[in-house]
Amino acid sequence: MSSRSAGRGEGRPTLEAVAALAGVGRGTVSRVVNGAAGVSPRARTAVEQAIAELGYVPNRAARSLATSRADAVALIIPETETRLASEPFFASIIRGVASELSETELQLLLILVSTERERRRLAGFLDGRRVDGVLMVSVHADDPVAELVESTGLPTVLGGRRSELEPLSYVNSDNLGGAWSAVRHLLGLGRRRVATITGPLDMEASCVRLEGYRRALEEAGVAVESPLIAHGDFSEESGEEAMAELLGREPALDAVFCASDLMAAGAMRALRRAGRRIPTDVAVVGFDDSPLARHTEPTMTTVRQPSEEMGRAMARLLLEEIAAPGRSHRQIILSTDLVVRESA
Amino acid sequence: MSSRSAGRGEGRPTLEAVAALAGVGRGTVSRVVNGAAGVSPRARTAVEQAIAELGYVPNRAARSLATSRADAVALIIPETETRLASEPFFASIIRGVASELSETELQLLLILVSTERERRRLAGFLDGRRVDGVLMVSVHADDPVAELVESTGLPTVLGGRRSELEPLSYVNSDNLGGAWSAVRHLLGLGRRRVATITGPLDMEASCVRLEGYRRALEEAGVAVESPLIAHGDFSEESGEEAMAELLGREPALDAVFCASDLMAAGAMRALRRAGRRIPTDVAVVGFDDSPLARHTEPTMTTVRQPSEEMGRAMARLLLEEIAAPGRSHRQIILSTDLVVRESA
DNA sequence: CCAGCAAATGGGAGCGCTCCCAACTTTCGA
DNA sequence: TCGAAAGTTGGGAGCGCTCCCATTTGCTGG
């Protein structure tokens, strides 16, 4: 049903074969295939028939060579360790990107970069212009991979930004608002000793979430105390350690806002081990609303960020950027919302 | 640091430019670039120098056109609904595949197929020979996507198989042994009314896990009763429903083996709602050892399948198949092991 | 009835690379 | 010392497609 005649790579019909069968020139066939104007109805039908008969499919390499377009975009995930697997966030991004791209002719190249070797390989790859644009998530402030991508001058869209003055286009979620509403929720519950576990501070999202925490506290007239702030790296283990640390410094804390669900899960574990009841003794709020949040015990109150939509928006932005290169860069902020469950 | 001179696509140096600068012919440069033998040391250094000086990177489209290789493989995930996001299994596969591929020149194309439109697009894509091989996971028995792939004649490796007489190469985990040991564990705990929630029966893995369940029971001289068997589709909701159904039919059951962690999580929820204690009243075992298993309450006993290794093995097999096409197809079975936690 | 213009069409000239062969060197054995 | 074998090298001939221009065809108006 798919490839006619001998399925081998060699026998595949070319533009020329179609032209011959349809009794027209290559140019005409090309026009039909690419939906260009200026083809008589008669010629068009003849060509379409020939295409169907031969089962013609254009050779992308040849097209690429002639047009110097790649018809592909890369999604770069600089994943340290096992984050890809443990954080469904990435999977959602992938889904969003893929679904948006499926409307187009563009292919999606997935590039996981963790080692130095892979980074070098990426450099050559991008310089080889095998893609028309680049999507990149999980960017750290001085990420060499991001710099590499930026230096290629390819259309690029980031998921998240490196700093407030991010020169590249990006899609971000409202980290400030999300964190703020999480902490406000905690305060609304009457909690006053609210701690926070941040993500890695070389990621802007972490800083902004911390800032949201600060603002909510200040607005409520509650002092921001550094013993109530601990740092993690988004991983579950780091959340567990940070929580233990917090508990050691501030035994009286009655709530904690974690910059990721994974860390919140770790924190919950640490709290349980310390004999604290959740949420009675300590209320916990996470960030992401990953599937995990519905499986912790108690279920987790968390800030939902629309990760799939984020992937979609990234892809859309990239398409625009590819279509109109040089245009000034754009950014999209997606709103977050608090999902209240049992833990707070 | 990456692209010299005017970064624009046009100004990029070609093979010819390198040849000119090095004072040799195109053939020699090509030989050097491709590490072919038969180049004098003198010529080789001259070429290498020129390449460095010009920052030359071969144009892949041109190479593809000339060699009719694509230097890429596709990973096809026929994902229904949100499975990609909810099942870290896929993420692990991706990681494994990507890490194995990073040793090579091959690029990884990710193709998510869920709609009919996307399937048609895939057909054209594969016929366009844009990849040298195909990797595919989550295959259903009469999966049209799998048939499509098979019909292209491209080197292909499946994750899982469609039936016992799967003609394509595949990597599979020991579903039979895994299920068997899970149920044996349950029996060892003294449980005698052991139920099971299967996956979709149009997937071989589901059938085999069910078979493992049967055998363990039979070996122990325990009758296999159909009221103790319910069917799900690997999703959490289906697990919940199936468990409710089971409870209705067989209130006295004291254990349940679920063909996926997600369904086990759903089952646990249903049990809790029905007032059954886990594992006191009903012991639960899942399958996959997804991250989720460590977050349920109680934590889940489950069968671990090495999903990342599965991805790796798939990639390795595909590389072999691409290198030596026509060679008879191969299969690899990865062993599973039981991870005992609190739920059983 | 024909000049004059627009629409349609054919096909040459690449795109940058690999393949392969003819030609040239060098080396070695007799 | 010479011919043959082995080692090198250059570059023509594509790979299949798009771009673009010259040419042909089909109309319209004077």
In angstroms, rounded to a whole number, what is the distance separating the alpha carbons of residues B264 and B266? 5
Per-residue confidence (pLDDT) for residue B105, from 0 to 100? 87
- pLDDT surpassing 70 at residue B82: no
* Domain assignment of residue A242, yes or no: yes
Mean pLDDT, all residues of chain B: 91
* Domain assignment of residue A200, yes or no: yes
Q: Which residues contact B45 (CB under 8 A, 6 or more apart)?
A: none
Q: What is the mean pLDDT of residues B144-161?
A: 92
- pLDDT surpassing 50 at residue B7: no
Q: What is the mean pLDDT of residues B1-13?
A: 46
Point out the residue among B2, B61, B130 whose CB comes nearest to the CB of A123.
B2
Q: pLDDT digit string (tens) for A199-232?
A: 999 999 999 999 999 999 999 999 999 999 999 9
Same domain, B179 and B159: no
Q: How many residues are listed for chain B in this entry?
A: 344
Q: pLDDT digit string (tens) for A268-323?
A: 999 999 999 999 999 999 999 998 898 888 999 999 999 999 999 999 999 999 98
Which of A58, A93, A109 is at the close of a domain? A58
* Domain assignment of residue A266, yes or no: yes
Beta bridge partners of A134: A74, A156
Distance from the Cα of B294 to chain A's closest Cα (Å) equals 9
In angstroms, rounded to a whole number, what is the distance separating the alpha carbons of residues B313 and A160? 33
Same domain, A142 and A193: no
* Domain assignment of residue A217, yes or no: yes
Report if CB B130 to strand D is under 7 Å: no
Q: C1' nearest to CA of B25: which nucleotide?
A: D10
Per-residue confidence (pLDDT) for residue A239, from 0 to 100? 96
For residues B73 and B132, the answer to whether their CB atoms sit within 8 Å is: yes
Chain A residues with beta carbon closer than 8 angstroms to that of B292: 291-292, 295
Interface test with A, best of B63, B295, B299, B310 (most A CBs within 10 A): B295
Q: pLDDT digit string (tens) for B297-332?
A: 899 999 999 999 999 999 999 999 998 877 778 999
Q: C1' nearest to CA of A17: which nucleotide?
A: D16
Given the structure tokens 């040391």, which residue do they identify? Answer: B41
Distance of CA B282 to the CA centre of its chain: 32
Given the structure tokens 């595919």, which residue do they identify? Answer: B136
In angstroms, rounded to a whole number, what is the distance separating the alpha carbons of residues A264 and A274? 15
Protein residues with beta carbon less than 7 Å from any atom of strand C: A 23-28, 30-31, 37-40, 42-43, 62, 65-66, 68; B 12, 14-16, 26-27, 30, 33-34, 56, 58-59, 62-63, 65-67
Q: What is the mean pLDDT of residues B178-198?
A: 97
Q: What is the CATH number of the domain that holds B34?
A: 1.10.260.40
* Domain assignment of residue B226, yes or no: yes
* Domain assignment of residue A63, yes or no: no
Same domain, B283 and B323: no
Any idea what the Cα angle at residue B261 is, between residues B255 and B267, rounded to 5°? Answer: 45
Same domain, B144 and B239: no
Q: What is the mean pLDDT of residues A118-128?
A: 86
Q: Which nucleotides in chain C lie closer than 7 A to a protein CB?
A: 7-12, 14-21
Chain A residues with beta carbon closer than 8 angstroms to that of B3: 127, 151-153
Chain B residues with beta carbon closer than 8 angstroms to that of A12: 127, 129
Per-residue confidence (pLDDT) for residue A4, from 0 to 100? 35
Same domain, B219 and B300: yes
- pLDDT surpassing 80 at residue A138: yes
Same domain, A87 and A140: yes
Mean pLDDT, all residues of chain A: 91
Size of interface A-B (CB pairs under 8 A): 171
Chain B residues with beta carbon closer than 8 angstroms to that of A55: 127
Inter-chain contact A128–B64, Cβ cutoff 8 Å? no
Q: What is the CATH number of the domain that holds B136?
A: 3.40.50.2300
Per-residue confidence (pLDDT) for residue B297, from 0 to 100? 85
- pLDDT surpassing 70 at residue B6: no
Chain A residues with beta carbon closer than 8 angstroms to that of B103: none
Chain B residues with beta carbon closer than 8 angstroms to that of A84: 91, 94-95
Same domain, B226 and B238: yes
Q: What is the mean pLDDT of residues B237-245?
A: 96
Inter-chain contact B3–A151, Cβ cutoff 8 Å? yes
Same domain, A190 and A220: yes
Interface test with A, best of B2, B57, B94, B299 (most A CBs within 10 A): B2
The number of distinct structural domains making up chain A is 3
Inter-chain contact A152–B3, Cβ cutoff 8 Å? yes
Per-residue confidence (pLDDT) for residue B123, from 0 to 100? 87
* Domain assignment of residue B7, yes or no: no
User: Domain limits at A48?
Assistant: 15-58
Point out the residue among A86, A94, A128 whose CB comes nearest to the CB of B110.
A94
Q: Categorize the per-residue pLDDT at B1 as very low, low, confident or very high, splitting at 50, 70 and 90.
A: very low
Q: C1' nearest to CA of A31: which nucleotide?
A: D18
Chain B residues with beta carbon closer than 8 angstroms to that of A125: 107
Distance of CA A144 to the CA centre of its chain: 18
List, as one string, the DSSP characters of B156-184.
EEEES-SSTT--SEEEEE-HHHHHHHHHH
Q: Categorize the per-residue pLDDT at A46 as very low, low, confident or very high, splitting at 50, 70 and 90.
A: very high
- Letter for the amino acid at A124? G
- pLDDT surpassing 90 at residue A52: yes
Query: Alpha-carbon torsion A336, A337, A343, A344, what sign?
Result: positive
Distance from the Cα of A232 to chain B's closest Cα (Å) equals 19
Nearest CA in chain A to B102: A118
Per-residue confidence (pLDDT) for residue A249, from 0 to 100? 96
% of chain B with per-residue pLDDT over 70: 95
Inter-chain contact B95–A112, Cβ cutoff 8 Å? yes
In angstroms, rounded to a whole number, what is the distance separating the alpha carbons of residues B237 and A97? 26
Q: What is the mean pLDDT of residues B252-269?
A: 96
Inter-chain contact B59–A65, Cβ cutoff 8 Å? yes
Per-residue confidence (pLDDT) for residue A82, from 0 to 100? 62
Inter-chain contact B152–A3, Cβ cutoff 8 Å? yes
Report if CB B65 to strand D is under 7 Å: yes
Q: Categorize the per-residue pLDDT at A105 as very low, low, confident or very high, splitting at 50, 70 and 90.
A: confident
Inter-chain contact B109–A110, Cβ cutoff 8 Å? yes
- Letter for the amino acid at B241? E
* Domain assignment of residue B1, yes or no: no
Helix axes B307-323, B88-101, angle to 10 degrees: 40
- pLDDT surpassing 70 at residue B2: no
Per-residue confidence (pLDDT) for residue B306, from 0 to 100? 94
Same domain, A206 and A86: no
Q: Which residues contact B108 (CB under 8 A, 6 or more apart)?
A: A109, A110, A111, B72, B73, B74, B75, B97, B98, B101
Same domain, A299 and A314: no
| Neighbouring C-alpha atoms within 13 Å toward the C-beta of B293 | 28
Same domain, A289 and A323: no
Q: What is the mean pLDDT of residues B284-307?
A: 93
Q: pLDDT digit string (tens) for A167-183?
A: 999 999 999 999 999 99
Separation of CA B137 and C1' D1 in angstroms? 70
Per-residue confidence (pLDDT) for residue B8, from 0 to 100? 34
Nearest to B107 by CA among A210, A76, A19: A76
Helix axes B204-219, B175-188, angle to 10 degrees: 40
Same domain, A39 and A89: no
Task: Name the pairing type of β-strands B169-173 and B194-198.
Answer: unpaired
Q: Which residues contact A204 (CB under 8 A, 6 or more apart)?
A: A141, A160, A161, A162, A163, A164
- pLDDT surpassing 90 at residue A2: no
Separation of CA B58 and C1' C16 in angstroms? 8
